[in-house]
Amino acid sequence: MNTTTQKAAEALELLPEDMRKPAVAYIIEQAEKLRTLKTLVREGLKNVEAGRVTKWNLKEFLREARSARTHARKKTR
């Protein structure tokens, strides 16, 4: 076992028995989220390298979204 794994195991042993299972579940959940995030970042970087990414203008996006919402409300009235 490496030092980090040993420290994690020791830390879990310090917890009361009823807290260990939720602590391990939380660590696994966070590790899975990190793995997913890394995959998505890698995918995004590949898209940038392939030229499939365009500059994004937040103000323009919000303007269009508000306009679409306004038009949708007018249609339902």
Regions of the chain where pLDDT drops below 70:
76-77
The per-residue pLDDT for 73 is 74
- When divided into structural domains, the chain yields a total of 1
The per-residue pLDDT for 16 is 97
By residue range, what is the domain housing residue 21?
Answer: 3-76
Helix (H, G, I), strand (E, B), or coil: what is residue 51?
Answer: coil
Residue 15 to residues 4, 25, 38, 62, Cα–Cα distance (Å)? 17, 14, 30, 48
The per-residue pLDDT for 77 is 63
What is the distance between the alpha carbons of residues 28 and 26, in angstroms, rounded to a whole number? Answer: 5
What is the distance between the alpha carbons of residues 11 and 24, in angstroms, rounded to a whole number? Answer: 11
The per-residue pLDDT for 37 is 98
The per-residue pLDDT for 55 is 86
